[in-house]
Structure 1
Amino acid sequence: MAFSFLPKQKFFILTLFFIAIFCCFSGYADDNPGQMTAQALFCFNNKLIYSGCDETYRLNPSGNINVPPEAADLFCNGPCLFETQQVLNCINNLLSNFLFYNKATIPDVRYALNAGCSNTNQRGNFNVGQYIDGFTSNAHRSTDWISHHTFVLIIWLLFFHFI
């Protein structure tokens, strides 16, 4: 059984097809991922952001916050907490799906900062590893890219099969 479409229906389906393609590819074509990553890594060494925090307490690309529990008050009440949050904002503005070397995401590091500076039994514990989602992370993975392209391929096949 073959389907026949009126010219207006074909135009409508074709329009939907192009909208689907635009939505799927708009985020991938504009930016060079290598360049965006290099710019995000620059945030760790930006002298305008990190100016008052001792270098030993700074967040680094590995995703670690090396603050001993006895230095929590100094870290949380001094410039380090604010500057670390500014580094995270800098990275997020450039590459919101940034993954640290330890597979932590920006929200994982924020959770560790909040817990480490809280007035709970977690104060002084800046172990980002506790907050890493692992395989359930929201960071961009190649499977997201594949699923978008699979979706476009299915739409394309359906469109040309029924015309």
Structure 2
Amino acid sequence: MARSLFICLRTLPLVLLCASLLLCNLGKADEEVSQTGTGIIGADPAEIVAKALLCFNDKYIYSSCEEAYRLTENGNLNVPPEYVDPYCSGPCLTETNLVLNCIENIMTNFVFYNRATIKDIKSTIKAGCSYGAERGNFNVADHLQAEENSAYKIRNQILVGLGLTIMGHTLLH
């Protein structure tokens, strides 16, 4: 009896230390996601989104890029393989970045209809215009994977912490 109590008291700090190390980051916000607001105090959320969507139709931003190759409200970049060079070295790339900056200045955490963020779109453009293996791949869905995988990481941290808590409770009884 005394020996099992000694083992429990000896392992309890170890279990608590492991659980606290695993769970210490759960309450913190993601570092990659900006925590700033819209900058518009007391504004209606629908108005803010509508204002951000106006960036797509601003004639001063999208003036030279053909409509077929523009970024859409859905978060799609329709750049065919034969148009990669003109897109990446012409006005479409510049104007698409201007649209993204316009949206970001209004609403930093804007999410397109396809669940892509501004960062996802920029990452897609960077990969599509690079001279590596991904050149010409403007499929935004390919760049959404990284964020979805972080949800699994958090879920695993929670499950491990819960398992350690149950194990610690079992050792005490």
Root-mean-square deviation over aligned CA pairs: 2.1
Q: Which residue of 1 aligns with 2:105?
A: 93
Partner of 2:80: 68
What residue is the counterpart of 2:67 in the other structure?
A: 55
Gaps of 5+ in 1: 1-24, 138-163
Distance in 2, Cα, partners of 1:82 & 1:108: 17
The TM-score, its normalising length taken from structure 1, stands at 0.64
| Matching residue of 1:9 | none
Distance 1:29 1:82, change over 3 A: closer
**Which residue in the other structure is 1:124 paired with?**
136
Tell me the equivalent position of 1:115: 127
- Stretches of structure 2 lacking an aligned partner (at least 5 in a row): 1-36, 152-173
Distance 1:29 1:77 in 2: 39
Question: C-alpha distance in 2, partners of 1:134/1:31?
Answer: 30
- Equivalent of residue 33 in structure 1, options 29, 41, 45: 45
What SS does structure 2 have at the residue aligned with 1:82? helix
TM-score by length of 2: 0.61
Q: Which residue of 2 aligns with 1:81?
A: 93
1:79-135 Cα shifts (integer Å, max 9, x gaps) = 000000000000000011111000000000000000000111111111110111248
Structure 2 CA distance, aligned partners of 1:36 and 1:77? 32
The answer on whether the counterparts of 1:92 and 1:98 sit within 8 Å (CA) in structure 2 is yes
Percentage of pairs with the same residue: 51
Deviation at 1:56, TM superposition (A): 0.3
Describe the shift of the 1:45–1:135 C-alpha distance in structure 2 as closer, same or farther (beyond 3 A).
farther
Paired amino acid for 1:112 = T
Greater RCO, 1 or 2 (C-alpha within 8 Å, sep 6+): 2
